């Protein structure tokens, strides 16, 4: 199910506390919605956010990986996507120049590319919404 951004105009957006990268991602991806956040209500974890939404205190954004891992289990929360919105996250792998484990890190980078990045790109190409 998708919703239009305008349909969320009267909703309270619940976010994680300052310092959480997901908070920053949401603010960057949905600046208009992020302006609707309740500065008094913040969560320290995704689980807390889910409980707050389940208790009808507002709406939030969740990473797909958390949803697929079952974070909504036992709740009455319904998922929706914002029509036309595309969320992206960048991954980086860094190591110390001259590290004796450079080969291991390059191998890890290859696995991340093969099993984390490329499947997401393929899924996005098949389902651009």
Architecture of the domain spanning 2-82: 3-Layer(aba) Sandwich (3.40)
Q: Report the DSSP pairing between strands 13-16 and 2-3.
A: unpaired
- State the 10-residue block means of pLDDT for the chain, 129 residues long: 82 84 77 66 89 93 89 94 73 90 94 79 65
Distances (CA, A) of 52 to 48, 55, 56, 122: 6, 5, 6, 33
The pLDDT value recorded for residue 18 is 81
Q: Are 15 and 34 in contact (CB under 8 A)?
A: yes
Q: What is the pLDDT of residue 77?
A: 96
pLDDT at 4: 84
Q: How much is the pLDDT for 49? A: 93
């Amino acid at each position: 199910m998708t919703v239009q951004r305008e349909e969320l105009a009267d909703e309270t957006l619940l976010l994680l506390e300052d310092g959480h990268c997901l908070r920053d991602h949401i603010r960057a991806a949905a600046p208009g919605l992020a302006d609707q956040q309740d500065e008094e209500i913040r969560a320290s974890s995704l689980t807390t956010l889910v409980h707050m939404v389940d208790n009808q205190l507002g709406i939030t954004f969740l990473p797909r990986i958390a949803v697929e891992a079952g974070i909504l289990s036992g709740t009455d929360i319904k998922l929706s996507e914002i029509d036309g919105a595309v969320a992206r996250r960048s991954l980086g792998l860094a190591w110390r120049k001259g590290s004796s484990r450079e080969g291991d890190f390059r191998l890890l980078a290859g696995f991340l590319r093969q099993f984390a990045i490329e499947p997401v790109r393929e899924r996005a190409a098949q389902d651009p919404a």
